[in-house]
Amino acid sequence: MNHRSWPPSYRLRVFAAAVLLLEAAVVALPLGGSVTPFFLVAIPAVAAVAVCRVSGGRPEVQALVRRLFVWRVKARWYFAALGIPLAEKVIVDLTGTLWGLSTPDRLFGALSTSALLIPVVVFVPALLEELGWRGFGVQAAIDAGRSPAWAALVVGVIFMLLHVPLYRTGQMYEGFPVWPTPLILLSSSVLLTWIYLRTSSALLAGLMHAAFNASVPLTWGLDPIWVWQARAITLTLVAGLVVAIARRNSRLPRVAAAAIGKPRTPDLRIPLGRI
């Protein structure tokens, strides 16, 4: 099969299979709970680069990597990438405080100097993940003619499956309830897909992904299991609000065009070069 013969839908299926195979390989290794996540976060990027190399050769790999260097976007997208994860944690903190589960003093007192290192630690892994999830997976789905919602949910399911091993004994989610995980990861996938498609930038998606992880210390003053459940509800509501606003805004051009007798359907498949 030559380098130009793989359709986007086929690339997405091969990518999903590669992610699951690599996940199985990592699970088979005798890794501790502090090491496993660092192997798992590399899987999306490794799978994406491998599929690009086989299906399109070096030019396709280069096109994929360039999505990490799209940074000249309007300031509001940087604000959204950082502000939405921050707002999510503030909502969780306020809710916990109002319910009497913590106090402002306890929330501030739980912060330590190690919290300053977390943004540094999570940034590169988040970029690697988003290079695969949004930069390759979502882009392949959109190129195949799928809707943004379809892309977000299908890639979100693969995203979710990669987190299943973290519930094993000795891993970071051990003892946590399972039900919040689909809500957290699928809602996150919706938000990350939204910002990727609005900016054509895996960098912005990676920045938002990193911000979701880096802002976790803001909730250290609350019970972590309660936070896990509160985040599921909060992120679902935030994602729903963003989708509702985005859909409303997408209708405005059609309404205006219809008013002058020129109805049109907006193209949601944003080319890589368009900001």
Count of domains forming the chain: 1
In a domain, 200, yes or no: yes
Domain that holds residue 144: 8-259
pLDDT tens-digit profile of 85-129?
A: 999 999 999 999 999 999 999 999 998 888 888 888 899 999 999
pLDDT tens-digit profile of 190-245?
A: 999 999 999 999 999 999 999 999 999 999 999 999 999 999 999 999 999 999 98
In a domain, 267, yes or no: no
In a domain, 206, yes or no: yes
In a domain, 226, yes or no: yes
Q: State the pTM of this model.
A: 0.88
The pLDDT value recorded for residue 263 is: 36
Angle between helix 148-161 and helix 8-28 axes, rounded to 10 deg: 20
Residue 57 neighbours by CB distance under 10 Å? 13
In a domain, 270, yes or no: no
In a domain, 61, yes or no: yes
In a domain, 81, yes or no: yes
Give dist(CA 196, CA 208) in Å, integer: 10
Give dist(CA 137, CA 144) in Å, integer: 11
Q: What is the DSSP string of 55-68?
A: HHHHHHHHHHHHGG
In a domain, 272, yes or no: no
